[in-house]
Structure 1
Amino acid sequence: MSYAIETRELDFFFGKRQVVNKLSLHVPEGSIYGFLGPNGAGKSTSIRLLTGMLLSERDNIFIQGESLRRTLPGVFANMGTLIEQPSLYGHLTARENLRIIATLRSLPAARIDAVLDIVGLKAVQSRKVGQFSLGMKQRLGIAMALLPNPQLLLLDEPANGLDPSGIIEIRDLLKRLHREEGKTIFVSSHLLAEVEKTCTHIGIIHKGVLRYENTLEQLRRDAEEGSQAIFTIPGAGSRVEAFAPELRARHLGGDDVLFPIADAGGVSRLNEQLVSSGVPVCGIRLQGGLEDWFMRITQNDKTIV
């Protein structure tokens, strides 16, 4: 597999305090990779290492197959970054802010129109940035990152501090960049629900250690283990006694029946078993699942990579 980003046992210390511990990331080309972890887990430090803002003592960071250490600063020609809040001039318009970056990087003026259109700010390009909402400022920051038309985007908590509508705007923008522009996107976040709605791949970091890395699809399967599922079954009250004892079904009232899920893939197998036995299933809701699983990993220092 070809990786847009790869690190090999990456370490970093602030003084004697280790904040990144043997971090081995594998970000596939063409993915939206969610770098998930609680505040203070090491996400921002890791991104600063990936962008050369902090330097690793070893040659163990690779961007699109090339050593970061050996290709600085040329690597930035194909990398766009947004670290925390974008640096913007509030007294200038959106277009004027972009023109400064385009001039500094010797980029054609046509890219300004292109990125304004991509991030949905073309209609307000002449408005002073000081009048923008936080979500609009974040989109303008992403527009700046897109100016050189990079294949790789690294975004540090782009939805941080946004209201629900702003979060949706950023989510839709990232998915569109991935789908229509073919960008590989590495995005850090502490918001599990948002990562689940946006990303194709997940890496979970806690206390500087990568606790988990896989596809979102596999994460959902892994999270089933030890959870419970509520199946909506018409006439459930009269059917529960007929279920096999090993299913340990418990009638919750109405049409809802609770089943413990023993392992990954258990929900789909249970559904097949019920349907093949002539039991009509009208709905399935997972209890526990991703949130509980995430909390177990980050609270118990459990590593599943």
Structure 2
Amino acid sequence: MPVAVITGASKGLGLALAGALAGRGWDLVVDARAAGPLAKAARELRGAGSRVVALPGDVADGGHRTALVSAAGELGGLDLLVNNASALGAEPLVRLAELPAAGLRRALEVNVVAPLELIKEALPLLRNSSYFSYPPSYVAEAPYIGEAPFRGDEHPAEAYDPHPYSENSQNTDLSVSHPYVGVHGAVLTLSSDAAVEAYPTWGGYGASKAALDQLSAVLAVEEPGLRVWWVDPGDMRTDLYAAAVPDDDGSGRPLPQTVVPALLRLLDGAAASGRYTAADLTAAPDGASSR
């Protein structure tokens, strides 16, 4: 069975994605800081018949990251690493003039340093994965064969620019190989529109996500044998958003479960490495999960 590590999986999008993968027969290693909610989530996930290892802890802790990867190895390897855990830096969010340095450091530690260190720990297992070497058994139609990563603009012929407002950042060498030839495991990282848009009070969080986007873009170039996806899931009704903007009525925002089909589409099509938005993945026609 394929194996995934999903951080921040006791609730929200992490739990929704974990549930979808468990329903497809994946074995899981999941984490969260709160042991009680994580144990409850693990019981739900095991109901689908999957093996589930639940390890409470903080992704900013190096020993915890090592334990996550070791648990995946004991399940047989690692095919998908999902960097979902995030920290805001301030709750509620505040303007940059009021952002505590400690809060910014926490956001950078959890949202940038921890994912990179976890990726580094996981690379040997991901490189050894054969998950994308053959079409998954549950894919009913011929998968999309990407010719370029999603660029998030109206000019698909241009090279992907992970930072469209910077003239010095270009990433033109992402993997364009056949998705089932020489491809091993995958890294899925949850980004945000705050990484590319200037929203008041979202500066610290957005800066950390922008840095994570750039790390992902470089990883995609340096590890052409992996699929590396960084995805803006769009607005969601989550505890993270409620903590960020407690005065905002989030009842009209989509539930995290609505984003899961877009993420599964990346897996089903072995989509080319790149930055995606859930909205574009959902809107794309069948067999065209990237553009």
TM-score normalised to structure 1 length: 0.30
TM-score by length of 2: 0.31
Greater share of residues in strand:
1
